[in-house]
Amino acid sequence: MKSRMKLAIAPWVALAVTASAAAAGSSVHWEYQGKAGAAHWGELAPEFAACQQGKAQSPIDIRTSRTGTSVPIGFGYRASSAEIVNNGHTVQVDLADGGGIEVAGATYRLVQFHFHTPSEEAVNSRRYPLVAHLVHKSDAGELAVVAVLFRQGRENAALASVFAGMPATAGEKHPAGTGFDPTSLLPTRRGYYGYTGSLTTPPCSEGVRWHILKQPVEVSAAQLAAFRKLYRMNARPVQPLNGRVVLVNP
Q: Catalog residues that contact Zn ion under the rule CB under 5 A.
A: 133
133 vs 174 by CB, closer to Zn ion: 133
Contact 207, 142 (CB under 8 A): yes
The H-assigned helical ranges of the chain are: 2-7, 11-23, 41-44, 50-53, 157-164, 221-230
- Closest separation between CB of residue 81 and Zn ion, Å? 22
Q: Which amino acid is residue 229, in one-letter code?
A: K
Looking at the DSSP bridge assignments, the partners of residue 62 are 123
Does the CA dihedral 90-20-84-157 come out positive or negative?
Answer: positive
- Closest separation between CB of residue 204 and Zn ion, Å? 12
120 vs 172 by CB, closer to Zn ion: 120
CA nearest to 163, candidates 100, 222, 75, 109: 222
Q: Cα dihedral angle (16, 22, 25, 29), rounded to 10 degrees?
A: 80
Contact 107, 87 (CB under 8 A): no
- Closest separation between CB of residue 216 and Zn ion, Å? 16
* Catalytic residue from among 29, 40, 89, 211: 89
- Closest separation between CB of residue 242 and Zn ion, Å? 20
8 vs 142 by CB, closer to Zn ion: 142
Helix 221-230 and helix 157-164: axis angle, to 10°?
Answer: 30
133 vs 173 by CB, closer to Zn ion: 133
To the query of whether residue 40 is one of the catalytic residues in this protein, the response is no
The catalytic residues are 89
